[in-house]
């Protein structure tokens, strides 16, 4: 199976990521300073506001790129957290099997049953609205899928001869898991990661839209969507632009993940 990767998605993703990374150096404008002389400008090239400005005179393009940056940052960190927890959890459960497996996977089942939005609302009530909290909250939920997938893969891997050979050679369980199982899971975890990232981006946008995520003046795709929705009759562009960026980001990640998934024959 060597279906080629979707090139358009790769290019789009590359553009969005480089915009997100490079934005502090790309434009003279920043995302938070109001400019009362240039509020609500339409897109115009001459004054340097390529997509116009919002009601506080902040450059829309710059804010979009900053939103990408924050959204991708949250997605990256949360996915990494979930990858580490999920991989460790799943491999341990799958390799030891038996009672260890039952206990670990029942914990996963219980956590699955916790409704996510109320959980985050309770967290914000307890600890205040904070971006770091958002990382933790999302990471704490999205490792469950990775744990399940890696457990299933480990169950198959541990019957393979080279794992039995490693046992026969006297390796400790930890050495077998770390040296011989985890490297064989790289493909699948990569697939999981490309599918987790867009899910986290959507979740982050949803929470920020509700005002539980990034706080003004810090922006994120969810914040911009919420701002835009408030003025969608007068200035639809404020809603359409972040929506397009969100869709592009999520869609290209998903396409990439799907293609990788087919490649690994999952």
Partner 1 sequence: MASEPLLRLQAYSQVRADGTPVLQDLSFELGRGEILGVVGESGSGKSQLLLGLLGLAMPGSRVSGSACFDGIELARAPEPVLRPLRGRKIAMLFQDPLLTWNPCLTLGSQLIETARLHLGSDSGTARAQVLQALAEAELPDAGMLLDRYPHEISGGMRQRALLAMSVLAKPALLLADEPTTALDPTTQRRVLARLASLRERGMSILLVTHDLGVVAEIADRVLVLQQGVIVEQGATAQLLRAPASAYARTLLDAARQMEGLPCLP
Q: Is 247 exposed, middle or buried (0-12, 13-18, 19+ CB in 10 A)?
A: exposed
Does residue 170 belong to the site contacting partner 1 (CB under 8 A)? yes
CB of 40 to partner 1, least distance (A): 57
Choosing from 50, 84, 164, 240, the residue that interacts with partner 1 (CB under 8 A) is: 164
Burial of 38 (0-12, 13-18, 19+ CB in 10 A): middle
- Residue 125 sits in the site that holds partner 1 (CB under 8 A): no
Can you tell me the distance from the alpha carbon of 22 to that of 18, in angstroms, rounded to the nearest whole number? 6
Judged by CB under 8 A, which of 12, 68, 141, 166 binds partner 1? Answer: 166
User: Binding to partner 1 by residue 165, rule CB under 8 A?
Assistant: yes
Enumerate residues 82-121 that contact partner 1 by CB under 8 A: 97-98
Which of 81, 133, 171, 218 binds partner 1 (CB under 8 A)? It is 171
Strand positions, DSSP E, the chain: none
Least spacing, CB of residue 201 vs partner 1, in Å: 30
244 near partner 1, rule: CB under 8 A: no
CA distances in angstroms from 130 to 4, 64, 198, listed in the order given? 41, 21, 21
CA of residue 220 relative to chain centroid, distance = 13
Shortest distance in whole angstroms from residue 179 CB to partner 1? 7
Instruction: Write out the two tokens for 258.
Output: 């799907």
Closest CA relative to residue 71, chosen from 134, 144, 140, 146 = 134
CB count within 10 Å of CB 103 equals 11
Q: What is the x/- site pattern for partner 1, positions 203-232, by CB under 8 A?
A: ------------------------------
Rounded Cα–Cα distance for residues 58 and 125 (Å): 31
Total residues in contact with partner 1, by rule CB under 8 A: 20
Phi-psi domain of 256 (left: phi exceeds 0; alpha: psi -120 through 50; beta: other): alpha
What's the rounded Cα separation, in Å, for the pair 41 and 167? 69
Q: In the set 172, 236, 247, 266, which binds partner 1 (CB under 8 A)?
A: 172
- Judged by CB under 8 A, the stretch of 76-84, 99-107, 173-181, 204-212 that binds partner 1 is 173-181
Sketch the per residue contact string, 50 through 89, with partner 1: x for CB under 8 A, - otherwise. Answer: ----------------------------------------
User: Which residues bind to partner 1, rule: CB under 8 A?
Assistant: 97-98, 160-162, 164-172, 175, 179-180, 183-184, 186
């Amino acid at each position: 199976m060597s279906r080629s990767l979707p090139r358009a998605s790769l290019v789009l993703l590359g553009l969005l990521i480089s915009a997100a990374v490079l934005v502090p150096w790309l434009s003279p404008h920043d995302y938070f300073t109001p400019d009362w002389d240039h509020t609500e400008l339409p897109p115009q090239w001459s004054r340097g506001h390529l997509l116009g400005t919002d009601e506080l005179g902040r450059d829309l393009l710059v804010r979009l790129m900053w939103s990408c940056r924050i959204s991708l940052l949250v997605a990256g960190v949360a996915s990494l957290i979930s990858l580490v927890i999920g991989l460790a959890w799943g491999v341990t459960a799958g390799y030891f099997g038996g009672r260890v497996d039952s206990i670990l996977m029942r914990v996963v089942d219980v956590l699955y049953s916790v409704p996510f939005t109320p959980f985050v609302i309770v967290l914000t009530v307890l600890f205040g609205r904070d971006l770091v909290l958002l990382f933790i909250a999302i990471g704490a939920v999205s490792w469950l899928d990775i744990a399940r997938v890696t457990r299933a893969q480990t169950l198959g891997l541990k019957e393979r001869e080279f794992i039995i050979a490693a046992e026969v050679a006297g390796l400790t369980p930890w050495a077998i898991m770390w040296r011989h199982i985890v490297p064989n899971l790289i493909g699948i975890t990569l697939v999981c990661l490309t599918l987790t990232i867009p899910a986290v981006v959507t979740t982050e946008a949803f929470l920020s839209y509700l005002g539980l995520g990034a706080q003004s003046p810090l922006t994120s795709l969810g914040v911009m969507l919420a701002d835009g929705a408030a003025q969608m009759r007068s200035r639809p562009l404020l809603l359409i632009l972040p929506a397009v960026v969100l869709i592009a980001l999520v869609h290209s990640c998903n396409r990439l993940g799907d293609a990788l998934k087919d490649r690994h024959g999952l």
